[in-house]
Amino acid sequence: MILAVDIGTTVLKGALLTEDGIFRAIASRQMTFCDTADAGCYEAETDQWIEAFCSVSEELLPSLGSDSLRAVVISGNGPTLVPVAGDGTFLQPVMSWMDRRGTAQSAKIGSLQDFVIDPTFYFPKAMWIADNLPDVYSRTKFFLSCPESMAFWLTGAAVTILPGIKFEKYFWNDVLFEKTGMDKSKFPDFVKPGHITGKVTKKAGALTGLPEGIPVISAGPDFVVTLLGTAAVYPGRACDRAGTSEGINLCTEAYVQDKRLMGYGHVVEPWYNMSGIISTSGKALEWIRKQLGCEGQDYSDFLAPAGDAEAGCGGLLFLPYLAGERAPHWDPSARAAFIGLGLQHGSGDMVRAVLESTGFAMRDVIEVMAENGGFVEELRITGGPSRSPLWNQIKADITGRRLLVPESTESELLGNLVLALRSLGDTDELSESADRIVRIKRVYEPDSARHRIYSELFEIYRSSYSSLKGVFSGLSAFRK
C-alpha cells in the first residue's frame, strides 16, 4: 500500500492506494492563504500544511488493516518557495506560486542572461527575500519548494526536484549565482522526480502516526505527476490540469524553444513536454461567484443560468487576467476585463463568459503549440472543474479537441503512485504503468456549430489583449 499526498493551493489531499490504482481510502483538508492587502503578495502557511498532513495521515492509517505501508510519496504546488532555517524551522514568507513581488528581480535576471525567469518562479522570489528581508535570507539554510519542504520535514533531507532535462533555466544555474551574488549553498542539488529523499524520522513518525523508517519519495511539482496521473505519456496527448489555475501540458517528440511557452524534458523519456500555464481559471470562477453574492450556493445551481445562456453570450467576452497572465503573454501587468457588456446581459451571461474565457485562454496556448509543430490530439482533464459537464463541453467546443475525463480525477495522487512504483522497483516503464492505472470514464466531443461561433469570437478575444496591453501597463503604473 502507498500513501500518496498532494499539497494543493487550498486543499491537501491524501490517499491509500493499492499497486493497481485502487483507492482504499482518501481524505482532504482545506487550507487558506495568509491575509494581506499587498499587491502581488500571495503567501502560504506551512503550519497549515503540517497540520493538514498530520490530520490526513491519522485519518487514513487505520484503513491499512493488515496491509503494510510501503512508502509515502509527496507532490505539491509549484513554484512555491519555502525558506528553511538551520534548525529545520520553516520561515516566513512562504511565497506561493501566485506571488509576483519579484518583478524587479525577474527584470534583473533578464538583463543578465538571454532568458527571463517569470517573477512567479523560484529564483526571483529568493532574490526578493535577499533584497527586502535580509534577516530572513541570512537565517535561511535551504530554499525548498512546497513538496520538497514536506519531505524535508519528514526526513531531514533537502533536495530539489528538477522536472526534466532543459528545465534548469527555470530554476537557477552557476552563471546566475556568480552574477547575482546569491549563495549557492542555500539551493539543494537537483534530483529526478520520484527520488527517495530519505526515511520518516522518529520525531515525524510520532507527529503523523507514520511508521519510523518508511521511505519518503519526492514526486515533485503537481503538474509533473498529473502528466502520469492522466496518462498524457505519448505524443499528441495533452493534460488539462484544471483548478485554481490551468496548465496545458503536451507530450511531444521534439524539444521546442518559444518564449511564449515552457519546454523541457517529459518525465517519461525520451519525450518532451510543451507547457502553457494560465494564471486564473478556477480562481476566476471563484471570484465571480463571490462578486455575485453566491458563495454559499451549490456550484451546480450557480452554473445553471450559465448553461441556459447562448454560446458567446451575445457578444460578451471576459479576459481572465485577474493575477496577470503567464502563457502565452507572460505579462504581470495584464488585467481582467469584461468586454461587450450591455444592458441585455445578465448574471448568467457573465458567469458563462468567465467559463468561456478559460476555453479561449486554452485555445490561445494550443494554437501557439501548433505553430511550433505540437498538435494537441486530445485533452485529458483533471482537477475539480472536470466535474462540471458544462465547463467540459465549453472547453471541447472552443478548442475543437475532444476532452477525456478519467474515472478518477485525483490525478496528482495517481501520478504519485506511478512514480512510487518505479522508485520501489515494481516497474521500469512509467508510460505502461500510467496507461494501466488511468481509466477513462467519459469523452466530450466538440460541437461543430458552436465551434464555428467560438472560432469567430476567439479572434476578437485574441486581439482584445493586444489592443488593451498599453492600457493595462498604464493602470499597473498608476496603481504603484
Domain extents in the chain? 2-224, 230-406+447-480
Residue 202 is predicted with a pLDDT of 97
pTM of the model: 0.89
- In this chain, the answer to whether the domains covering 2-224 and 230-406+447-480 adopt an identical fold is yes
Closest CA to 101 of 193, 38, 17, 28: 38
Residue 371 is predicted with a pLDDT of 97
Point out the residues of the chain with pLDDT beneath 50: none
Q: What is the pLDDT of residues 139-163, one digit of tens each?
A: 999 999 999 999 999 999 999 999 9
Alpha-carbon span 444 to 199, nearest angstrom: 43
Closest CA to 250 of 270, 271, 220, 219: 271
| Other residues' Cβ atoms within 10 Å of the Cβ of residue 94 | 24
Residue 4 is predicted with a pLDDT of 98
Residue 33 is predicted with a pLDDT of 78
Alpha-carbon span 50 to 363, nearest angstrom: 38
Residue 386 is predicted with a pLDDT of 94
Q: What is the CATH number of domain 230-406+447-480?
A: 3.30.420.40
Amino acid at 382: T
In angstroms, the first-to-last Cα distance of the chain is 52
Which residues lie closer than 8 Å to 173 by C-beta, 6 or more apart?
A: none
Residue 476 is predicted with a pLDDT of 87
Residue 479 is predicted with a pLDDT of 66
Residue 65 is predicted with a pLDDT of 85
CATH architecture of 2-224: 2-Layer Sandwich (3.30)
The three-class DSSP label of residue 195 is strand
Q: At what angle do helices 411-423 and 430-437 cross, to 10 degrees?
A: 140
